[in-house]
Amino acid sequence: MQSPSNSDHHHKSITSQHPLHHLHQTPSQPCMMFVPAKVSIQRPHLLMPTFTLRRCYIQLVCAVFLVLVVLIIRMLSNVRTTFVSFHADSDTDGELVVLPEEFVQKRGALCLDGSPAGYYIRQGRGVSRKYWILHLQGGAWCSTQEECYKRSFTELGSSLRAPVSASFEGFMSSDDAINPDFHDWNMVRFLYCDGGSFLGNRSQPIKYKSREIYFRGAAVFDAIIDFLLTQADLGSAKKVILSGSSAGGLAALIHADHLRKRLQKIKSVHAVLDAMLFVNLTSRSGQKKMMNILENTFHLHHIKDSVSLSDCSQKMSDDTKWRCFSPMYFYKHMFTSAFFLNSVHDRWYLNQALDVTCDFNKCSSSEIKYISDIRTGLLETVHAILTSQKDGRYLTACPVHSVLVNNFFTQPLDGHVSPQEAIGDWYFGRNSMSSANVIPREAFPEAVSLCYKYFNDDEKTFKR
């Protein structure tokens, strides 16, 4: 028997070990190979955009959603809180209260842009919870439609633009070192958003540049008083001081007797009037600019119909009633006891009404001479205030505008008491009346030099 060859043995060995051995059962069967079919993958064709009701609906929903998001963001950025009763104590600042819409609409108490009236408040402490200072904010006037239109987009014409809190300084400070006599009283600062010293009384708005402008200052004043009486316990007050600065000082002068009549149950009602002696002197250019500002404001805002002026204007013709908007003319009809603060070199008055435009540290000799003449004219014009037995006064030579609610409140000139001491002495009857009867003796150049040391951090105080 013939033995297999080495080659056959090798062939069998490989065949038995091959993993596909079972596919080759017979030598004659051809070897088959599977190749996957070639698949052609086509990219989907996008249909051309077509207008469908469903597509329109989706786009509309998205647009509405975006608009709502924008409105919500804007609303949150301008959020204002309306308080019906006192909120939590604030140590220093006053917090904004915007009067409720329904309360405002019944009274027409609207800012220039038609937004609701408002005020800032800080609650009193301890025994002083029955004592109130109501302060009327300053900010000049708008005496033309264009001025009022521009103003309506600012916090001087809209409660929507007003910050949610306000710094209370000087006479309204909560620091007993700065304001020892009144620091713990209830403090209210009326938001000045009407442009007419809280005295406008035009029944219908004026449409200007597609915007309705409201002149409702008198209604704003009365509505805030109504709200404080009914919702903030002003009705139980024992002492009330109505104060104001600049245009707010003129407003406080004219509203003082009216407020006194409204608070008949309150025995102690006084006024503190700051930077409001806008006397009708001739400017360097030969004009009566102060008279023109007051008269134009009076007519534009229909101030003649304000009840606070009735005692002064009732026997006057419509053409002459505007004189009651002049402080010295109205003062003859004022009954409420008042304290007057003013500079005989009032920087706003010198610049805006009298055309004095020099840097106070660099005025020419002719400008200094004119300023000295103005000082003499002012003192002669306010003679009735200077000689009043029931009123106090503090006139300074410092070229400042407002005295009451800034850092000058505690600063005396050499040889004088500070405004803070003078007001306290007058109000509480302390010491002698001489401390509440300060008349400056310094000439203008000397006053600038003396006052400068009190304002090293605020040189612009002496700028025009």
Query: Is 349 inside any structural domain?
Result: yes
The residue among 337 and 17 whose pLDDT is bigger is 337
User: How many independent structural domains does the chain possess?
Assistant: 2
* Domain end point (choices 336, 363, 391): 336
Q: How many CA atoms lie within 13 A of 309 on its CB side?
A: 28
Do 293 and 362 share a domain, yes or no?
A: no
Q: What share of the chain is helix, strand, coil (3-state, %, to 5)?
A: 40, 10, 45
Residue 243 contacts residue 272 (beta carbons within 8 Å): yes
Do 391 and 301 share a domain, yes or no?
A: no
Do 223 and 165 share a domain, yes or no?
A: yes
Do 146 and 243 share a domain, yes or no?
A: yes
Do 101 and 211 share a domain, yes or no?
A: yes
Do 248 and 351 share a domain, yes or no?
A: no
Cα distance between residue 159 and residue 110, in whole Å: 9
| Cα 132 → chain centroid | 21
Query: Is 22 inside any structural domain?
Result: no
Query: Is 323 inside any structural domain?
Result: yes
Residue 352, pLDDT score: 94
* Domain end point (choices 310, 336, 362): 336
Q: Is the pLDDT of residue 128 over 90?
A: yes
Query: Is 452 inside any structural domain?
Result: yes
Do 349 and 383 share a domain, yes or no?
A: yes
Query: Is 38 inside any structural domain?
Result: no
Q: Give the pLDDT confidence of 242-266 residue by residue, as tens digits.
A: 999 999 999 999 999 999 999 999 9
Q: CB-based contacts of 180: which residues, under 8 Å, 6+ apart?
A: 420, 424
What number of other Cβ atoms are within 10 A of residue 253's Cβ?
A: 26
- The dihedrals phi and psi of 14, each to the nearest 5 degrees, come to -70, -40
Q: Is the pLDDT of residue 313 over 60?
A: yes
Residue 33, pLDDT score: 53
The residue among 55 and 302 whose pLDDT is bigger is 302
Do 174 and 299 share a domain, yes or no?
A: yes
Element (H, E) at 334: none
Choice among 58-67, 174-183, 206-215 with the minimum mean pLDDT: 58-67
Do 278 and 242 share a domain, yes or no?
A: yes
Query: Is 53 inside any structural domain?
Result: no
Do 353 and 332 share a domain, yes or no?
A: no
Q: Is the pLDDT of residue 82 over 90?
A: no
Q: Is the pLDDT of residue 87 over 50?
A: no
Indicate the pTM of the whole model. Answer: 0.80
Q: Is the pLDDT of residue 237 over 80?
A: yes
Do 326 and 347 share a domain, yes or no?
A: no
Residue 201, pLDDT score: 96
Domain CATH for 134: 3.40.50
Query: Is 31 inside any structural domain?
Result: no
Interval 311-320 mean pLDDT = 92
Do 232 and 124 share a domain, yes or no?
A: yes
Choice among 28-32, 132-136, 164-168, 204-208 with the minimum mean pLDDT: 28-32
Residue 106 structure tokens = 């019944």
Residue 333, pLDDT score: 95
Q: Residue 157's domain spans which residues?
A: 83-336
Q: Give the pLDDT confidence of 365-410 residue by residue, as tens digits.
A: 999 999 999 999 999 999 999 999 899 999 999 999 999 998 888 8
Residue 358 structure tokens = 């020099």
Query: Is 16 inside any structural domain?
Result: no
* Domain end point (choices 336, 371, 406): 336
